[in-house]
Amino acid sequence: MGAPDSPGRVEHVDGAGGLATMAKAALPAVPGVNQLPGIKKTSRTLPDLELRRDDVEVRRDEVDRYAEVCGFPRRDTAPVPYLHMLAFGLHMAMMTDAAFPFPAIGSVHLENTITQHRPVAIGERVSLGLRAANLRTSTKGRAWDMLVTGTVGDEVVWESTSTYLRLGGGDKEHGDRGTELAPVEARGAVWEVPENTGRRYAAVSGDRNPIHLYPLTAKALGFKRHIAHGMWSKARCIAALENRLPDAVQVTVAFKKPIFLPGKVRFGAARREDGYGFTLVDPRTGAPHLLGRTTAL
């Protein structure tokens, strides 16, 4: 995991974005508006750009809010996926950059891998850098990776790879098929996922994509109802496994079918040689919402 050296541009981003950033993200997906100068996507390659947030404090109040929404206990260290929240503004800034080839709205989050080299303590200050890389043809369209590195001083403590997809123009025979994750039988608890889950997670993460907020806003973008964030579902699974995971761990998930809100999901986990396989499924049909694995480092 990691990004190429010596980016052509380095820019600093303040904060986690907001409604203005989400509006900017939506414009390239609006018919007619997306043809206007300054909004129309013209590039066919990923920008040679690094975006940074430096010296960000891991704050007790913000970690506790996140932990409550995602099911983590209160600890003196941040949950494994927490730094993704601090990097979310970088994701949005990259996808709304004029040189980025695809609109943010309508891009599908396929996979996420987080590597925690050690826990990050409350009160530590983290610097985060993001690059977009590995643009490729998948079976369903064009895929690329968002690579984030988190450091404390000169120490790399946390890394993340988020793989996104833009539908259309794929190669079913020769395109990239993504990470193969072994299925796990779901025999665990059934979790109720309340109607307001998307709004609660948006409030702590800054990810206010309309598909997660209300039925009406989701229908405007082609969904029958609003859906839970994929990174909420990953976090909820990690919370269920947290007391069994080592301090140095990698957690990979592939997002499958959306979780419509309100809804129910069944969790399952199985011990593997170097960690756990886990899943979330529809308790009625067994169709997977998420497949995942943990690996001790």
**Residue 154's pLDDT is what?**
97
Bridge partners (DSSP) listed for residue 271: 276
* DSSP 3-state of 276: strand
Beta bridge partners of 87: none
The more confidently predicted of residues 165 and 35 is: 165
pLDDT reading at 144 higher than 90: yes
Beta bridge partners of 10: 50
Which of 13-17, 107-111, 237-241 has the lowest average pLDDT? 13-17
Given this model, what pLDDT does residue 2 score? 47
The per-residue pLDDT of the chain, averaged, comes to 92
Check the CA dihedral 28-160-151-123 and report its sign. positive
Give the model's pLDDT for residue 89: 94
| pLDDT above 70 for 255 | yes
Q: What's residue 14's pLDDT?
A: 84
pLDDT at 3 over 50: no
Fill in the DSSP letter of residue 56: E
Contact 114, 85 (CB under 8 A): no
CA 256 to chain centre: 13
Distance CA 210, CA 203 (A): 13
pLDDT score at 38? 63
Residue % of the chain over a pLDDT of 90: 84
> Alpha-carbon dihedral of residues 103, 104, 109, 110, nearest 10 degrees?
20
Does residue 4 surpass a pLDDT of 60? no
When pLDDT is averaged across residues 146-169 and rounded to a whole number, the result is: 97
Sort strands 249-255 and 108-116 into parallel, antiparallel or unpaired: antiparallel
- Residue 75 tokens, joined: 């600890």
Q: Of 33-42, 102-111, 166-175, which range is least confident?
A: 33-42
Q: What are phi and psi of 38, to 5 degrees?
A: 90, -15
% of the chain at pLDDT higher than 70: 89
| 290 bridge partner residues | 255, 280
In tens, the pLDDT along 112-135 reads 999 999 999 999 999 999 999 999
Q: What's 254's DSSP letter?
A: E
Residue 214, classified by CB atoms within 10 Å of its CB into exposed (0-12), middle (13-18) or buried (19+), is middle
Residue type at position 168: G
Whether the Cβ atoms of residue 213 and residue 220 lie closer than 8 Å to each other: no
- Whether 16 has a pLDDT exceeding 90, the answer reads no
Is pLDDT at 32 greater than 70 in this prediction? no
User: What tens digit of pLDDT does each residue of 38-78 get?
Assistant: 676 778 899 999 999 999 999 999 999 999 999 999 999 99
What single-letter DSSP state applies at residue 63? H
What is the arithmetic mean of pLDDT over 255-259? 97
